[in-house]
Structure 1
Amino acid sequence: MFSLVLVVLALFNFHGLATCLNNEGYALLSFKQSIYADPEGSLSNWNSSDDSPCSWNGVTCKEQRVVSVSIPKKKLYGFLPSALGSLPDLRHVNLRNNKFFGGLPVELLQAQGLQSLVLYGNSLSGPLPTEIGKLKYLQTLDLSDNVFNGSLPSSLVQCKRLRALDLSQNNFTGSLPDGFGSGLLSLEKLDLSFNKFNGTIPSDFGNLSSLQGTVDLSHNLFTGLIPASLGNLPEKVYIDLTYNNLSGPIPQNGALMNRGPTAFIGNPGLCGPPLKNPCSSGTPGASSPSSFPFLPNNYPPGNSDENEGKNERGRGLSKGSVIAIIVSDIIGICLVGLLFSYCYTRVCSCSKDKDDNGYGFEKGGKGKKDCLCFRKDESETLSENVEQYDLVPLDTQVAFDLDELLKASAFVLGKSGIGIVYKVVLEDGLTLAVRRLGEGGSQRFKEFQTEVEAIGKLRHPNIATLRAYYWSVDEKLLIYDYIPNGSLATALHGKAGMVSFTPLLWSDRLKIIKGIARGLVYLHEFSPKKYVHGDLKPSNILLDQNMEPHISDFGLGRLANIAGGSPTMQSNRMPSDKPQERLQKSASSEATAVYSSMNLGSYYQAPEAMKVVKPSQKWDVYSYGVILLEMITGRSPVVYVGTSEMDLVNWIQLCIEEKRPLSDVLDPYLAPDADKEEEIIAVLKITMACVHSSPERRPTMRHVFDALERLVLSTD
Structure 2
Amino acid sequence: MVSGLFWLVFLLCNSFILVGSLNDEGSALLSFRHSIQDPEGSLSNWNSSDENPCSWIGITCQEEKVVSVSIPKKNLFGLLSSALGSLSALRHVNLRNNKFFGSLPIELFHAPGLQSLVLCGNSLSGSIPPQIGNLSYLQALDLSQNWFNGSIPTTLVQCKRLKSLDLSHNNLTGPLPIGFGIGLVALEKLDLSFNKLNGSIPWDMGNLSSLQGTIDLSYNFFSGPIPASLGHLPEKVYIDLSHNNLSGLIPQNGGLVNRGPTAFIENPGLCGPPLKKSCSSYTPGVNAPSSISNLPDNFPAQTSDGKKGKRRGLSKIAVIVIVVSNVCGICLVGLLLSCCYWRLCACRKGKDEGSDNVEKGSNECLCFRKDESGPLSENGEQYELVALDTQVAFDLDELLKASAFVLGKSGIGIVYKVVLENGLTLAVRRLGEGGSQRYKEFQTEVAAIGKIRHPNIVTLRAYYWCVEEKLLIYDYIPNGNLSAAIHGKAGLVSFMPLSWSVRLRIMKGIAKGLAYLHEFSPKKYVHGDLKPSNILLGPNMEPQISDFGLGRLANITGGGSATPPSNPMAFEIPQQQQNAPTEIITTSSPLISGSCYQAPEALKIVKPSQKWDVYSYGVILLEMISGKSPMVQVGTSEIDLVKWIQLCIEEKKPLSDVLDPFLARDSDKEEEMVAVLKISLACVQTSPEKRPSMRHVSDALYTLTTSTN
TM-score range, shorter chain: 0.5 to 0.7
Q: How does 1:155-174 map to 2 (within 5 A)?
A: none
Query: Partner letter of residue 532 of structure 2?
Result: P
| Shift, 1:402, TM fit | 2.2
Deviation by residue 1:39-58 (Cα, 9 ceiling, x = unmatched): xxx99x9xxxx9x9999727
| Shift, 1:650, TM fit | 0.8
1:619 matched to 2:691: no
Q: Is the 8 A contact 1:434 1:480 kept in 2?
A: yes
Could you tell me how far apart the structure 1 residues matched to 2:128 and 2:348 are?
Answer: 71
- Within the candidate set 487, 492, 501, 1:498 is matched to 492
| Shift, 1:443, TM fit | 0.4
CA spacing shift, 1:594–1:588, aligned 2, 3 Å: farther
- Within the candidate set 409, 412, 421, 1:418 is matched to 412
| Shift, 1:434, TM fit | 0.6
Could you tell me how far apart the structure 1 residues matched to 2:623 and 2:557 are?
Answer: 33
Q: Which residue of 1 aligns with 2:372?
A: 378
Could you tell me how far apart the structure 1 residues matched to 2:606 and 2:564 are?
Answer: 24
- Within the candidate set 57, 69, 92, 2:129 is matched to 57
| Shift, 1:614, TM fit | 2.1
Q: Which residue of 1 aligns with 2:312?
A: none
| Shift, 1:360, TM fit | 9.4
Query: Partner letter of residue 612 of structure 2?
Result: W
| Shift, 1:352, TM fit | 6.1
Could you tell me how far apart the structure 2 residues matched to 1:658 and 1:536 are?
Answer: 30
Q: How does 1:368-407 map to 2 (within 5 A)?
A: 374-376=368-370, 378-379=372-373, 382=376, 384-386=378-380, 388-407=382-401
Query: Partner letter of residue 599 of structure 1?
Result: I
CA spacing shift, 1:506–1:601, aligned 2, 3 Å: same
CA spacing shift, 1:440–1:130, aligned 2, 3 Å: closer
Q: Which residue of 2 aligns with 1:690?
A: 683
Across the aligned residues of Structure 1 and Structure 2, the Cα RMSD in angstroms comes to 5.2
1:451 matched to 2:523: no
Deviation by residue 1:195-232 (Cα, 9 ceiling, x = unmatched): xxxxxxxxxxxxxxxxxxxxxxxxxxxxxxxxxxxxxx
| Shift, 1:638, TM fit | 1.1
**Secondary structure of 1:410 counterpart:** strand
**Secondary structure of 1:480 counterpart:** strand
1:712 matched to 2:705: yes
Q: Which residue of 1 aligns with 2:621?
A: 628
Could you tell me how far apart the structure 1 residues matched to 2:136 and 2:563 are?
Answer: 65
- Within the candidate set 659, 662, 678, 1:666 is matched to 659
**Secondary structure of 2:492 counterpart:** coil
Q: Which residue of 1 aligns with 2:282?
A: none
CA spacing shift, 1:529–1:646, aligned 2, 3 Å: same
CA spacing shift, 1:64–1:449, aligned 2, 3 Å: same
Q: Is the 8 A contact 2:427 2:476 kept in 1?
A: yes
1:610 matched to 2:585: no
Query: Partner letter of residue 671 of structure 1?
Result: A
Could you tell me how far apart the structure 2 residues matched to 1:520 and 1:403 are?
Answer: 35
Q: Is the 8 A contact 2:348 2:354 kept in 1?
A: no
Q: Which residue of 1 aligns with 2:633?
A: 640
* Percent identity for Structure 1 against Structure 2: 60
Query: Partner letter of residue 601 of structure 1?
Result: G
**Secondary structure of 1:712 counterpart:** coil
**Secondary structure of 2:528 counterpart:** coil
CA spacing shift, 1:588–1:383, aligned 2, 3 Å: farther
CA spacing shift, 1:120–1:379, aligned 2, 3 Å: closer
CA spacing shift, 1:652–1:441, aligned 2, 3 Å: same
Q: Is the 8 A contact 1:431 1:482 kept in 2?
A: yes
| Shift, 1:374, TM fit | 3.6
Q: Which residue of 1 aligns with 2:520?
A: 526
Q: Is the 8 A contact 2:611 2:693 kept in 1?
A: yes
Query: Partner letter of residue 57 of structure 1?
Result: P
| Shift, 1:416, TM fit | 2.1
Could you tell me how far apart the structure 1 residues matched to 2:708 and 2:376 are?
Answer: 58
Q: Is the 8 A contact 2:501 2:708 kept in 1?
A: no
Q: How does 1:351-362 map to 2 (within 5 A)?
A: 351=347
| Shift, 1:108, TM fit | 6.7
Q: Is the 8 A contact 2:364 2:405 kept in 1?
A: no
Q: Is the 8 A contact 1:622 1:691 kept in 2?
A: yes
| Shift, 1:687, TM fit | 1.2
Could you tell me how far apart the structure 1 residues matched to 2:408 and 2:536 are?
Answer: 13
| Shift, 1:607, TM fit | 1.5
Could you tell me how far apart the structure 1 residues matched to 2:489 and 2:136 are?
Answer: 71
CA spacing shift, 1:464–1:538, aligned 2, 3 Å: same
CA spacing shift, 1:131–1:636, aligned 2, 3 Å: same
Q: Is the 8 A contact 1:58 1:69 kept in 2?
A: no
**Secondary structure of 1:442 counterpart:** coil
Q: Is the 8 A contact 2:365 2:400 kept in 1?
A: no
Deviation by residue 1:578-614 (Cα, 9 ceiling, x = unmatched): xxxxxxxx999955x323x541201111112222222
| Shift, 1:469, TM fit | 0.6
RCO higher in structure (CA 8 A, sep ≥6) = 1
- Within the candidate set 484, 508, 530, 1:536 is matched to 530
Q: Is the 8 A contact 1:417 1:568 kept in 2?
A: no
CA spacing shift, 1:546–1:565, aligned 2, 3 Å: same
| Shift, 1:69, TM fit | 3.7
Query: Partner letter of residue 412 of structure 1?
Result: V
1:657 matched to 2:650: yes
Could you tell me how far apart the structure 1 residues matched to 2:538 and 2:372 are?
Answer: 41
**Secondary structure of 1:547 counterpart:** coil
Q: Which residue of 2 aligns with 1:208?
A: none
Q: Is the 8 A contact 2:433 2:467 kept in 1?
A: yes
Deviation by residue 1:235-269 (Cα, 9 ceiling, x = unmatched): xxxxxxxxxxxxxxxxxxxxxxxxxxxxxxxxxxx
Could you tell me how far apart the structure 2 residues matched to 1:625 and 1:61 are?
Answer: 45
Task: State which drifts further: 539-548 or 420-429.
Answer: 420-429
Could you tell me how far apart the structure 1 residues matched to 2:622 and 2:608 are?
Answer: 22
Query: Partner letter of residue 375 of structure 1?
Result: R
Q: Is the 8 A contact 1:456 1:467 kept in 2?
A: yes
1:439 matched to 2:511: no
Deviation by residue 1:400-433 (Cα, 9 ceiling, x = unmatched): 2223222322222222222221111122221110
Q: How does 1:32-47 map to 2 (within 5 A)?
A: none
Q: Is the 8 A contact 1:492 1:504 kept in 2?
A: yes
Q: Which residue of 1 aligns with 2:559?
A: 565
| Shift, 1:696, TM fit | 1.6
Q: Which residue of 1 aligns with 2:477?
A: 483
Could you tell me how far apart the structure 1 residues matched to 2:487 and 2:655 are?
Answer: 21
Unaligned runs of 5+ in 1: 1-41, 134-140, 154-166, 171-346, 577-585
- Aligned residues between the structures: 445
| Shift, 1:532, TM fit | 1.2
Q: Is the 8 A contact 1:75 1:97 kept in 2?
A: no
Could you tell me how far apart the structure 2 residues matched to 1:569 and 1:685 are?
Answer: 30
Q: Which residue of 2 aligns with 1:547?
A: 541
| Shift, 1:472, TM fit | 1.6
**Secondary structure of 1:594 counterpart:** coil
Q: Which residue of 1 aligns with 2:550?
A: 556
| Shift, 1:703, TM fit | 1.2
Could you tell me how far apart the structure 2 residues matched to 1:379 and 1:604 are?
Answer: 44
Query: Partner letter of residue 443 of structure 2?
Result: Q
Could you tell me how far apart the structure 1 residues matched to 2:185 and 2:663 are?
Answer: 51
